[in-house]
Amino acid sequence: MPTRDELLDGALRHLNADPAASMAEVAEATGVGRATLHRHFTGRADLVHAIGERCLDRWEQTQAGAGLAEATASGDASAITACVDTMVRSLARDAEDFAFALTEHSLQDFPDLVERTRSLVAVEVAMFSAAQRAGVLRPDVPPAWLSHVVYGVMVAVREALRAGEIGSRAAGDLAVRTFLSGASA
């Protein structure tokens, strides 16, 4: 009998390939019956919510692991640069795993996930603001815009990986270079 985490892993893999999959299709893809899947998740909304929670947990762990709070508080350009590099690489590493959560609009139906997302974005925006003050990032755009740009780069990573245009090892490097340097020559 698979654990809840194993079911979430299988469901996420299947939903990444087929975002509109039904619970019956998810159950079949994870190798369990619908009754087993329903013992863990009352329905599709409950499953999507659990995936969203997991994604936000990973994002929060990424922020902590990159040292966002410490880098923001330090104001030190080299610490902030290292933090941005680590964070973007980590998010790129996870982009394919959490492809479904990156673009699943139904996650907006869950006020707890929306509020938690806002909190995580606020931590990022504060760090981007500190990065602008330290001269690491350009000061002529709103720091919230930079958070949206990182999200866009992660969607691009996911799409490029799916299309086979880049390898997973190159994804982090490409994401960091694109975010920090843009597309300018």
Structure token digits, residue 67: 């040292």
Alpha-carbon radius of gyration of the chain: 18
Percent of the chain whose predicted confidence (pLDDT) is above 70: 99
For the residues 100-114, what does the mean pLDDT come to? Answer: 89
Q: E strand or H helix at 115, and its extent?
A: helix 111-133
Q: Can you tell me the distance from the alpha carbon of 32 to that of 73, in angstroms, rounded to the nearest whole number?
A: 48
**Alpha carbon distance, N-terminus to C-terminus of the chain:** 54
22-31 residue pLDDT tens: 999 999 999 9
Rounded distance, CA 111 to CA 52, Å?
12
What pLDDT is stored for residue 77 in this prediction?
A: 97
Residue 99 has pLDDT above 80, yes or no: no
pTM, 2 dp:
0.90
Q: What angle do CA 29, 34, 40 make, to 5 degrees?
A: 95
List, in sequence order, the alpha helices (H) in 31-166.
34-40, 44-66, 68-74, 77-95, 99-103, 111-133, 143-163
Reported for 9-12, long-range contacts at CB under 8 A and 24+ positions apart, including other chains, are 11/37, 11/47, 11/51, 12/51, 12/54, 12/97, 12/98, 12/100
Does residue 140 or residue 182 have the better pLDDT? 140
Q: Which residue reads 């001269």 in tokens?
A: 135
